[in-house]
Structure 1
Amino acid sequence: MHAVALGDTTASATPPPAAGTPTEAPTAPPGDQPTNSPSPSATPSAAAAVTALQGALGAEHAAVYGYGVVGARLPEDQQRADARTAYAAHEARRDSWQRLLASLGATPTAAAGGYQLPFAVTDTAGATRLAAHLETRLTAVYADLVAAVPGPQRSAAADALRECALRAHRWGAADTAFPGIPEPLPTPTAAPSATRP
């Protein structure tokens, strides 16, 4: 699940635990497990799209929770206002993915009760680092989503990718040429052969 891969702390309506307090995601009862596949008549590409949408939804659950931690560690200034704006944007994305999944006949993934922070967040520097981490990790989720969904949904996924990349930049993350796509490894070059005079 992408939310676990994010390593951030995002939940829905429940308040976040104290920073650095590990909490484990509860397991849903057997009857409440999310449905990752659309209706039986769906094509394999539709199933892949639903899986990617579930991953994006899980990541947004994590981001909403994480911004609860971020906001709690920021002073009452422009940074906190930015965190509130980002929190609202991630709630809106989460809600839109839930509606889309439901319209496709899938049961949207529920938020966990809590998420493990990727590192301790005890001050403003840690909060801004967590915000940059959340947004950077979401760019990878949305790059995957852009590749998996059909045209009408691809536009929304691309918008989400762009917004996360811009927020990551604002929080101090390093810029990349293609947000969400890992940099290619350098190719080894052969040593030039010595030539005789």
Structure 2
Amino acid sequence: MHAVALGDAAPAAAAAPAPSASPSASPSASTSASSTASASAGGTAAPFQDALGAEHAAVYGYGVVGARVTDDGQRTAARTALAAHQARRDAWQRLLSGAGATPDPAAAGYQLPFPVTDAATAGRLAAHLETRLTGVYADLVAAVPTPQRPLAADALRESALRARQWGAAPTAFPGIADTPAGTSTPTP
């Protein structure tokens, strides 16, 4: 499940306990999630577990990105993104725990969607991670109750902005797949 966020079908190794919590780098991620942690996750635990899994994968992926970028600006952007994803991961863990669910642990490793051998492919991986997260967060916005939507929408906005920063193509509605010309989308 976690590796799907990186674009693959299965984790590279068996699941391991999640790393210990790190200090929050994003006040909005930790404060908002902890304020809604007392809300019942009920039927929304699965979408939050999906978001947590995607953040586990992003944290892993940014470790790879950080090891390959060479420019000081890219290195700073990678560190900032890593801290934001660690904070978001920790916020989802607190939300799930506060709602009585057991947060899924991170996998011991993940298979990358393509070889990352230099700064260019590292930047491409960062854009890929953020683009995949916009899809996860668009799904989360649609799946959670109204009081939790601003938290999910904030995560979607942050990932969309980072995706553009890393060179992803602009989209009208980040996280929502474009429909081919001449087709219509079903209305709910």
TM superposition score category, shorter chain reference:
0.7 to 0.9
Query: Residue 172 in 1 paired to residue 170 in 2?
Result: no
Give the TM-score of the pair, scaled to structure 2: 0.80
Change (3 A) 1:103 1:79: same
The residue that corresponds to 2:132 in the other structure is 137
| 1:154-173 alpha-carbon deviations (Å, 9 max, x no partner) | 11110000000000000000
1:110 to 105, 113, 117: 105
What amino acid is the match of 1:26? A
Radius of gyration: which is bigger?
1
CA contact (8 A) 1:8 1:66 kept: no
Q: Distance in 2 between matches of 1:58 and 1:178?
A: 23
1:24 to 4, 9, 12: 12
The residue that corresponds to 2:27 in the other structure is none
Residue identity (%): 65
The residue that corresponds to 1:97 in the other structure is 92
Q: Distance in 2 between matches of 1:177 and 1:24?
A: 34
Q: Of Structure 1 and Structure 2, which has the larger fraction of its residues in helix?
A: 2
Q: Distance in 2 between matches of 1:27 and 1:132?
A: 25
Measured after TM superposition, the shift of residue 24 of structure 1 is 1.9
Q: Distance in 2 between matches of 1:62 and 1:109?
A: 12
The residue that corresponds to 1:7 in the other structure is 6
- Aligned 1:152-171 pairs, distance under 5 A: 152-171=147-166
Measured after TM superposition, the shift of residue 104 of structure 1 is 1.0
For structure 2, which runs of at least 5 residues remain unmatched after alignment?
A: 17-39, 184-188
The residue that corresponds to 2:52 in the other structure is 57
What amino acid is the match of 1:5? V
CA contact (8 A) 2:68 2:117 kept: yes
Measured after TM superposition, the shift of residue 27 of structure 1 is 4.7
The residue that corresponds to 2:78 in the other structure is 83
The residue that corresponds to 2:22 in the other structure is none
Q: Distance in 1 between matches of 2:66 and 2:147?
A: 34
Measured after TM superposition, the shift of residue 185 of structure 1 is 1.9
Segments of 4+ moved more than 4 angstroms: none
CA contact (8 A) 2:97 2:103 kept: yes
| 1:97-117 alpha-carbon deviations (Å, 9 max, x no partner) | 000001111100000000000
Q: Distance in 2 between matches of 1:24 and 1:173?
A: 26
Provide the secondary structure at the position in 2 that maps to 1:110: coil
Measured after TM superposition, the shift of residue 184 of structure 1 is 1.1
Q: Distance in 2 between matches of 1:58 and 1:171?
A: 21
CA contact (8 A) 1:63 1:90 kept: yes
For structure 1, which runs of at least 5 residues remain unmatched after alignment?
A: 10-21, 29-41, 189-197
Provide the secondary structure at the position in 2 that maps to 1:186: coil
The CA RMSD measured in Å over matched residues stands at 2.1
Measured after TM superposition, the shift of residue 151 of structure 1 is 2.0
What amino acid is the match of 1:66? G
Q: Distance in 1 between matches of 2:71 and 2:164?
A: 21
What amino acid is the match of 2:68? R
Provide the secondary structure at the position in 2 that maps to 1:26: coil
The residue that corresponds to 1:34 in the other structure is none
